[in-house]
Amino acid sequence: MMFDLSIDGVVNFVKSWADAYIESDTVQQFVALLHTVMGRIGIPETIHPTADQVVLSTNITILTLLLYYHLIGRSHHSRRLQLTSDLHLAALRVLELEDLLLTQSKEENRKKGGGEVRIFMDGAFDMMHYGHMNAFRQGRSLGTQLIVGVNSDESITRCKGSPVMTDRERLTAVEGCKFVDEVIPGCPYVMTSDYLDYVIKKYDIDYVVHGDDPCVVDGKDVYESAKERGKYQSIPRTEGVSTTDIVGRMLLMTKDHHKRSGFEEDGAKLITAEKDGMKNNEILGTYSKFLTTSRMLRLFSVGVEAPEEGQRVVYMDGSWDMFHAGHISILKKAKEMGDYLIAGVHSDAIVNQHQGSNMPIMNLHERVLSVLGCKFVDDVLIDAPYTITPEMIASLKISQVIRGAATKTDEGLRYEHAINAGIYRKIDSPCDFSLDDIFERIQASQKRFENKIEKKKRQEQEYYDNLYGMKNGEKK
């Protein structure tokens, strides 16, 4: 049967199809039901639609929707895609502008005549973490040299209770940060006007910098005298991390958590864990509130460059959990074994498999930032393989693999290829401080720390509530 494609033919076809459709039982039943409903709600029969009108209006509605989707909807979809692309470009532009703003602030702070701009920061820096390092990074970006004053044990104890770390341990941590140029020991916790004059004059300080959260002792702003002199600038604090938060994570653990929990010290099982991942591993990283962004990693990677031709590349891996003075000391010694030091940071799953149920305290991203902030490390291998393979040695051009003598693993399995290649070396740490020492100190004063944390958390919550217009962590 041939179909007539003329205008009259198409019109006749549509008319015959419509007539048949209108006379169908389905349409007639629907129209009858519609009339019944309209009658019940009081609509006069004289204005009830006929079957022709119902079919016509339905078809027009469907046709309108199809035309809208074809002509308008596709255009909207296209515009949404374009908007997504524009937003992505805008986000990149914001990052560029933020970097330019830091540069501008640095230039505005520069002395007339183009000399150095010396920035001073001070603090306790107890159990120093990447949040402190990020503050150093931001402070240094406002000038050319960063001088950091480390509060003495005596002044910290008098104002807020004794710190976890000793003077020497805290000084080592600050001195090991790549964003710090000079360290002043024994600074008072409360910055008096006389002491500020002394620091500004002796160290030729241009600006005193501190986080934008209030620092009040006995009802007095610690930096009041600096503000009065026009020598004060603030920086935003690193959200999602604080010493209080980290101590809180550790208080959730018992001494049993720091043991192997039935884990047999067998290198083969450790290597298998690397391939298979961890079971019942959901707890890892759940305590951290820090949001790691690519921009933060980029900012901490400033100055990282590939090794030059002929440089001796040294590799040392570990968990680097709660990055402390012991880690800094052995990394410094490892760096002295060559020209370029790569530090491998193991995944949360591998650290947990090797060290016990609630380890690590800091998640992978937090530990990577801490190691990146160390002045003795030239680059970081993120999620480092537990077993050092020939391919890895060749790819990273490793000339020497270093292992700490105190590491409790089977070196024959982990380091077999490095040993066979004659590039393996075991060294003693210049510092015997370890993570166990931190646990013991906190547990020895657990009640005091619990009370201190409760008070500090309330203060931090008030800070975030004021910053984001919230109440008890929820939007008003």
From first to last of the 476 residues of the chain, give the pLDDT tens digit: 455 556 666 556 556 666 676 777 777 888 888 888 888 888 888 888 887 777 777 777 877 877 777 777 667 777 777 877 777 677 666 656 655 665 555 555 555 445 789 999 999 999 999 999 999 999 999 999 999 999 999 999 988 888 899 999 999 999 999 999 999 999 998 877 788 889 989 999 999 998 876 676 667 777 787 888 888 898 887 766 777 778 877 877 644 443 433 333 334 433 344 444 434 333 333 455 666 788 888 889 988 999 999 999 999 999 999 999 999 999 999 999 999 999 999 999 999 988 876 889 899 999 999 999 999 999 999 999 999 999 999 999 999 999 998 776 666 788 999 999 999 999 998 988 988 899 888 888 777 777 766 666 666 666 556 655 666 555 55
What is the reported pLDDT for 449? 72
CA-based nearest residue to 350, from 332, 340, 363: 363
Looking at domain 263-435, which CATH architecture does it have?
A: 3-Layer(aba) Sandwich (3.40)
Structure tokens, 341: 């030091």
What is the reported pLDDT for 83? 79
What is the reported pLDDT for 295? 83
What is the reported pLDDT for 220? 72
Per domain, the residue ranges of the chain are 7-74, 118-238, 263-435, 445-475
What is the reported pLDDT for 285? 36
What is the reported pLDDT for 284? 35
Residues whose CB falls within 8 Å of the CB of residue 142, separated by 6 or more in sequence, listed in order: 102, 105, 106, 109, 117, 119, 207, 209, 233, 235
What is the reported pLDDT for 270? 39
CA-based nearest residue to 435, from 367, 386, 384: 367
Amino acid at 451: N
Record: fold of 118-238: Rossmann fold (3.40.50)
Whether 118-238 and 263-435 share one fold: the answer is yes
